[in-house]
Amino acid sequence: MLNHLKGILVSSQGNRVVIDVSGFGMELAVSSNTLSSLPAPGSPITIMTHMAMRDDSIDLFGFSSDRERELFRYLITIPSIGPKIALGILSNISPESLFMAVMEENIALLTKLPGVGKKTAQRLILELRDKFGTEGIPSESGATLSDLQQASGSGGSAAVEALVSLGYTRAEIRRAMSSVKGVGTSAEELIQACLAFFYRGK
C-alpha cells in the first residue's frame, strides 16, 4: 500500500492533482483544504495517500496531513459514505469543526455537508464519537494524554484530551490554556476558547 508520494507537482484542476514521480504522472483526488495548501506547479511536493481498489479501477486520494487522511479513513468505514462523499465532507469542514460537530451531536451542521442526510449524520455521530473518544484524531506531538491530564483539573483534563486528539502539541495547548484563563471552567468553554486562540494565530 502506498503511504505517500514524493515528486514534482505538475498540475491541479478541480479536485484532482498530477504529480510527476520519477517520470510517472500520478493523478490523485484531493479535498479543497489540501488543494489550497499545495505549492505552485513545478514545485517539489510530498503528499500522504490512500489507495482504494475496486474490481474495475484503482483510485488514489491525496492529503496534506496524516490527520486529514485518518479522518478520511474513519469516514469511509461508515455505511453510505464512500471515498467521494468523504472527500466532499473534508472539502467543506475543517477537522476541528468536524470533531466539535460530532462531539456536540450537531446534526444540523452535519446535514449541511454534501451527501449527508439526517440518518447518515446520526450514524456518523454514533461511529465517530466512539473513535474520537478512544483513538482521537492522530497527533504529531508525541505527548501522552496522561502527561497532560495530570496538570489539569476536571474540565481542563477533558479539554486537553480533546485538543490532543485534534493534533495540537503540548506546548501549543499549554500556551493556549495560559492565555484563556478566566473564560470558564467547563471543557466546552475551554476548548472553544483555545480553538479561537489557535485560529488567531497567536
| Tens of pLDDT, residues 49-60 | 999 887 777 889
**Residue 18 to residue 200: CA distance in whole angstroms:** 33
pLDDT at 139: 39
Return the minimum-mean-pLDDT range out of 19-23, 83-87, 196-200: 196-200
What does the H/E/C string look like for 110-149? HCCCCCCCHHHHHHHHHHHHHHHHHCCCCCCCCCCHHHHH
Q: Which of 51-55, 123-127, 134-138, 145-149 has the highest mean pLDDT?
A: 123-127
Mean pLDDT, rounded, of the chain: 81
Assess whether pLDDT exceeds 90 at residue 155. no
Return the C-alpha cell found at 172: 501549543
The two beta strands, 24-30 and 58-63, are: parallel
List of domains in the chain: 4-63 (2.40.50.140), 78-134 (1.10.150.20), 145-200 (no CATH)
